[in-house]
Structures are given as C-alpha cells and as structure tokens.
Structure 1
Amino acid sequence: MDPYDSDSSLDEDFTETSVTLGYASEEQYDDKISHLGGWPTWIDEKTPPPGEFANCKVCNNPMALLLELHGDLPDHFSINERRLYIFGCPRKPCNRKPGSIRAYRATRKVNLDSTQEEQKPEKAKPEATKPEKEAPKPKQDLGASLFGVTSLVGSVSANTNPFSTKPASSPSDNPFATPKPASNSTAPTDGLAASFADKVRLSSPETDPTAIKSSPPGAASKQTPESTGPQTPWPAQSAFPAPYKYFYLDADMEAMSNPSTPQVPENVTLEPMDEDGGGADLKDTFESELDKAFMKFSTRLAHNPEQVLRYEFRGSPLLYSYSDQVGKRFHAGHAAGKVTTVSAGGSIPPCEYCGAERVFEMQLVPHAISMLEEGREGVGLGKDDAGMEWGTIIVGVCAKDCAPEELYKVGWREEWAGVQWESQ
C-alpha cells in the first residue's frame, strides 16, 4: 500500500487524511455553485471573464466547461469571494497539446466594515417616553466556504444573504465558519447546508503571511485583465461546443482502509531466497515494467473509486506519472512517498500577475471523465470531437489570491493547469 500521512484514525480499519474528495451526482445538493460540466456562472453576471479566456490556445475556438468550484476560503482570504474554473477543448486535433486545458480564478473583495455606521447606537431622542422600535434582526452572511455553507454574523452586511432562506435567529450550520458579508451575486437563492467548508477548514492550515514568497527579482509579470482597458466580450453561448453533462458536487474527507498485517503461523519458518534464486532480478524486472507513480496513483484512488476531485489548499497533488514534464516538477521534492509542493523549489511557476508563489489547490482525477462523457455521443459535436485522455489535471493558484483592490470589482486570473496525459 502506498505511504500517506494520517491526520486521525477513524477506527482500526480506516484512516482519514487531510484531503477532501469531491463526488459527482445527479442529485441536487445544497451548493448550487460547484458542479462538473454544464454552463459556467459568474460571481457577477455583469463581469464575465475576458473573451480570450474562452478559447483553446491551440485552435483558438471556445472550450467546454469541465469544472466550476465555489472557492471561498475565509480562513485564508477573509474578505475575498472566489471561484475556480477548468475548461477543456474537446476537439481531436487539440488533444494532448499545451493550452487545450486552461484554469481560471475569479476573485472579488468585499467590505467587512461597510455597515459600521449602521451599527452605531443612535442618540437619545426627546420623546423618551415613546416605545422603542424593535431592534433590527441581524442579517445573514454569504455562504462563506468552499462548496457552500451558511453562517450568521449579526449586522455585518448591508445586504441580506441571497443564498439562505433560513431565519436570522437560527444557529449556523457551520460552527467553524468565519463571518463574511453578502454580495450582489446572482446565484440561486436556495438554502445552503454545511458540506465541503467545515472539512476543508479543519484540514487546511492557517495562512502564514511570511510563507507567501514573491518571485525572484526580474521575474516576469504581466498586466491584469482589468488594467488593460476594454476586453474582448465573452462569446455567445452558441459559439461554444455542446456542454458536458451537468453534475452536482458533494464532498467528504478522504478515508482509506488500513491493510491487515498477515500473520505467519508458528510452525512455519521463512528462509531468505539465495542470490541465485533470481529474487532480486525478478523484483527489478517487475518494477521496471510498472510506473511507480501510476501504481501509487491508482492504489490511492481505489480506496474511493468514485471521487472526481481532490482538494487540499496548500497541499500536495497525487501524481499520475513521475516522468512527464509535470511529474518532474514535483518528483524532485519526493521523499518517503510524499510529494511536497513548494513553488520556491520550482514545482509550480509563480503568479504571472503579482509575482507571488503558487500553491496546489485541487486536481481532477479520471473518474471525472467517465461522468462528464456519460451520454456524450449523439450531441452533435461533429467528427472532430475527441474523448478526454488526461490522467489528472493539477491546478496551482496564487498564494496571495491577488485581485483588484477596488471593492466589489471582479478580477480574473489565469492559473497554472498542470495536465498529466493518459499513458499510451
């Protein structure tokens, strides 16, 4: 069995890790933002991504959405609304080529102090004998965590929470949630329940500001989309290929079964194989025919075969291969079966926009392909449509979550998508 770090033991047969797994389902869950396939939605429908973000870098045609993830991380970025996206080109000529799969992050800062004036006590009025007005009920905050969660924060925001239908006096579903104000989001108004957020918040370490490193002097940086003037508009829906099937996402912490230790009967004696027995040669031959990374990858996934997403902000990716360009980036830090994602060591390129290091946040794994391509045939995509052939898509994001300083202005950033293609 592959080595792994255990955070807590569930019982003698299972061990829980710090990774949160995402599962696809046709059943509707409380989080209405995170999903596989379908059409994307935006934090602010009036501020879609720059039009060029829609296009494959190989054929320059619009791509199909693979994943949209509600990415709020209040423990790390307390005033930031975040969403993550992965798009992929389904056209056969673009398959396996750099730029045919792209990842994006949308971030908007909100003002936690916008209602301070409202919270100041009013001065006493001359009509002291008149009955006092009923105190305003506390307003609800935005679902403040990944995969949706609600929490109550008094009168933090001037807007009521568009995601919650629960009364303001009800207790929070997520006792770990950090207060965050509501936004002008146009997302559905259905209620949310604790799911991904509490697990991610428990497993993710607090951000250490001293650990956020900038790129070396002279490192390349580029203008942000909002600083370059008017953008090419996002294409009309008719310009995109037919969408992949839509699936809601649910999540749970990764739990793996512990292998039982074989017991040797008392009346059996084990003798070492002599050098001429071929044991060493057999072992070398066996290992030379197998990709160690792939064996570890498939063994780890086999514990929870229906997972489509692995999430651990500032965690480590599970590599499909050590020998491709992506695998070589991380394998240099490989020790005792654990890959350490340290951008300063060259694992992930730094953020091109602000120069900060990038850190691992999530990856798609192969079962997502079988879910997305379910019923894909016969949707009129044309002869050039190809099936997906990646082993995993690793997403690295800016450790500073760089965004426009102007409040409520959505910033779009292309993030690093490390694609490990399926072995041929």
Structure 2
Amino acid sequence: MDPYDSDSSGLEDEDFTDTGVLLGYASEEVIDDTISHLGGLPTWLDASTPPPGDFANCKVCNRPMHLLLELHGDLPEHFPDDERRLYIFGCCRKTCNRKQGSIRALRATRKIKVEQPEKSKTEETEKKEEEKKPEAPKQDLGASLFGAGSLTGSVSGNANPFSSSSGSSSAQPNPFATPATPASSPSQQKSTSKQPEPQTVSTLTESFADKVRISSTPKIPPPEAAGPPTPWPPQSAFPKPYPHLYLDAEYETLSRPSTPTIPENVTFEPVEVDNAAGSSSAAASADLKDAFESELDKAFQRFSSRLSQNPEQVLRYEFGGSPLLYTYTDEVGKKLHDPKNPDAKVNILPSGGSRIASCEYCGSERVFELQLVPHAISVLEEGREGVGLGPKDDPGMEWGTIILGVCGRDCAPTQIGVVGWREEWVGVQWEEIK
C-alpha cells in the first residue's frame, strides 16, 4: 500500500493501524463473489450432496432454522488441496431464544487433488544414486506442475483468503471474490518397472465433477459413511428466509485507541443515603460502585469502541486469529478470557480444559475463523415484518456476537471430489438484558 500523500493534512499524525482482520460489509448489489452472503438460501459445494438433514434443525425445538451466513471459505495458503464453505444457521423462535443449540455452524470441505505421501529416506537415497548414473534417463517430473502459485500483494501477513489474482490492477480486488477454478493436471503416477501408459489430458470444457472422479480408499471411514443420513428438508419446511445480502470486504484500520480505561484518579466517595431499613452508607456506596463498574465493563467497552470505528461491519474474519469478546462474564467469555492475563490475545485453542473442545471428528485443535457482530442483525431484520414465524413466535435475534471455531486441520474425506460435512463449534454471547 502506498504511503499517504503529503497533502492529506493530519493523516500522518493519526495512529492508523492495520489489524489483519478482514471486515465484511452487507451489500444488496451483486459483487464479484456470488457465494458469500448473509441470509437468503444456502448453496452447496455439490448440489447432489447436501448436508445430512439433522444439521438443519435447531437442537432445542428440532425444527429447521434460518440461514444467517454462507461464506466462501477457500484458504489456499493453509489448505491448497481443499475447497471449503462455511454456514451458520439460527433459530429465532421465542421458545429457543438464548438456549444452547439454537445456533449451529457447518463446514463443507472437498478435496481437489491427492496429497502425495512423503518418500522415505531409503527411497530418496536410491533415487539419488540412480540419478548419478550417466546411463540412467532423466525422469520427466510431470507432478511438478501441480499446485497454485503463492499469493502476492497481500495487505498483511495473513493473506486475504478469498481474493482472486488481480494482476497489476490498481484497484483493490473484492477480498471475498471466488478464486478461478484450477486448471486440470495429469494424475501423478507411481514409478514401476513397467512403462506407464500415456494418459489423456482433460479438456477445458470438461466439467469439474468429471475431473475429480478418481478416488482413493480412505484409511479411516468418515463419519458420513456410518449410515444413511437423514435427507435435507425441502425448502417449504424452513421459515421464510432473511433477505439475501452479498458480502464486500476490506481490512480493518484503526485510527485511535480502541480500549478505553477507567482513569487512575477516579475514586468512589461514600454516599450518605437515608434508608428506612437502617442499612449503612458504606453498603449503598458499594452498590453504587458495582453499578458504575458494571456500566464500564471492560469487555463490552472494548467491543463497542472497536466496532464503532467501522460501524457498518457485519463480519470479522481472521483464520487462526483472535475473537473480539462481547463480555468476559458469560460461559463463552469465561472459556476464552484469562483473568490472570487480561491483556493477552484471546486464543480458543484448548488449554488445560478451560478452552473449547477439540474437533470431534479427528481430535485436532480448533482455531478461530470468524464472528458475526450485531450490525448483521440490523441489516437482516430491517423491514422484517412478515419475516419468519411472526412477531409472537419470532421476536428476533438477541445475540451480541457469534464466534466460529473450526478444525485447525480442515479434516474431510480423503477421496477426491467427495464433500465432507462437519459441525463446528459456535460460541454465542447473548445480548445483555437491561
């Protein structure tokens, strides 16, 4: 990014900081990425492979839920062999409000090429010895054509996972844009004593589904193979969807300190209060102090101050980063906040059983990926009369933030082209009742 121009008065005096967090903004206009969106209806990686129907239902009332978010989640820097998509569903029925299981998250992952096993030292030694022999023909390493080039031009060290290559264009590309479909490559073959038969290279007109039919037997059967899944419910079984809003994005920039603190010189003077019950003024003063400290809750003040710098944001994204907590005092806050080290960066990796659970499918540690923030409620419920189940049964969403933690290994079926569905961890911090 070019430095600020010298005629931008006062800008260089401001303390601007790029945080590495990608902010999502709702847009009614169609943008580059037609996959990522708030509300609307879900689309699947493979239309013939929807998720198991049990994932559609609220765990409280066992009825289908609204789609809150669908995000195009490809991460070429972390998982170059995977296509990913993320979904968050929510139940807004009054009887389910503020209850665990009323908001659920899914991850869909599909392998687009086979991961080659590492060669043993013996194999590498034998290969080097063969290469030293002058009579040995040189091997044509067609497999070296696999893989995508490294991302360039990223704004920060945590490269934008959604942008497509923008060349030398001066305009900032939409960070949620869908990457181009990778070109087909010949399948890598194991060397044998027989001359390998030539393979036909797939044409550009061949569909992606046709290219990925080569599959390998997984070492461990995925959970999906345990039995026939319940079919995904028809759309008529779902409540009326929220409006479909596309997602535009840019990296977060802060221009001033985002964490207000209570001045050191603030003191709480005893207040004399006439009380018929005869309670002491010291007790009344303590109540006053508690009320004052409650209003200056550090977590909420930090949360609201940080969001106020970019008030239109609906989504915060930072794979492997740190969520912004709405409060430290609820179940989620107690899990993720360390009171002994309050200034430390929030981390949702397991630590002594005080953090969130590891992935139930493969046992790997989970990492933070994204969170929804309150402005998402505003844009989804704007003009919501007649949306969902009606004002009596559907009072609207009342959460402060929804935090998504995903498997850090992106576990999925090992077969090429097979979509794997995983339910991921969601931490919901509900709006405080006043």
Structure 1 length normalisation: TM-score? Answer: 0.69
**Separation in 2 of the partners of 1:156 and 1:406?**
17
**Which one is further off, 301-310 or 372-381?**
372-381
Gap change, CA 1:274 and 1:323, over 3 Å in 2 = closer
Alignment partner of 1:111: what SS?
A: coil
Gap change, CA 1:225 and 1:48, over 3 Å in 2 = farther
Gap change, CA 1:64 and 1:295, over 3 Å in 2 = same
Where do residues 24-423 of structure 1 align in structure 2 (5 Å cutoff)? 24-111=26-113, 145-146=161-162, 147-150=176-179, 156=185, 158=202, 160=204, 183-184=208-209, 224-258=222-256, 286-332=292-338, 334-336=341-343, 338-345=345-352, 346-379=354-387, 381-382=389-390, 383-423=392-432
Q: Report the RMSD for the aligned CA atoms in angstroms.
A: 3.6
Pick the structure with greater CA Rg: 2
- 1:369-413 Cα offsets, whole Å, 9 max, x none, are 001111211246233112100000000000110000111100000
Alignment partner of 1:339: what SS?
A: coil
**Separation in 2 of the partners of 1:343 and 1:28?**
39
Alignment partner of 2:62: what SS?
A: coil
Gap change, CA 1:90 and 1:159, over 3 Å in 2 = farther
Gap change, CA 1:304 and 1:160, over 3 Å in 2 = farther
| CA drift at 1:139 | 13
**Separation in 1 of the partners of 2:178 and 2:421?**
24
- 1:296-337 Cα offsets, whole Å, 9 max, x none, are 100110010000000000111100010000000111275326
For structure 1, the residue ranges without an aligned partner over 5 or more in a row are 1-7, 115-137, 163-181, 186-221, 261-271
| CA drift at 1:341 | 2.9
| One-letter amino acid of the structure 1 residue matched with residue 108 of structure 2 | A
| CA drift at 1:149 | 4.2
| One-letter amino acid of the structure 1 residue matched with residue 238 of structure 2 | F
Alignment partner of 2:224: what SS?
A: helix
- The answer to whether the Cα contact below 8 Å between 1:56 and 1:101 also exists between their aligned partners in 2 is yes
**Separation in 2 of the partners of 1:160 and 1:299?**
50
Gap change, CA 1:314 and 1:259, over 3 Å in 2 = closer
| CA drift at 1:292 | 1.4
Alignment partner of 1:369: what SS?
A: helix
- The answer to whether the Cα contact below 8 Å between 1:344 and 1:357 also exists between their aligned partners in 2 is no
Alignment partner of 1:338: what SS?
A: coil
**Separation in 1 of the partners of 2:69 and 2:78?**
22
Gap change, CA 1:389 and 1:235, over 3 Å in 2 = same
For structure 2, the residue ranges without an aligned partner over 5 or more in a row are 5-10, 117-144, 152-159, 163-175, 187-201, 211-219, 259-263, 271-284
Moved over 6 A (4+): 138-141, 272-278, 280-285
Structure 2 length normalisation: TM-score? Answer: 0.68
**Separation in 2 of the partners of 1:286 and 1:63?**
39
- The answer to whether the Cα contact below 8 Å between 1:140 and 1:160 also exists between their aligned partners in 2 is no
| CA drift at 1:159 | 6.5
- The answer to whether the Cα contact below 8 Å between 1:326 and 1:420 also exists between their aligned partners in 2 is yes
Aligned pair count?
328
- The answer to whether the Cα contact below 8 Å between 2:377 and 2:397 also exists between their aligned partners in 1 is yes
Paired-residue identity, %: 62
**Separation in 2 of the partners of 1:113 and 1:289?**
53
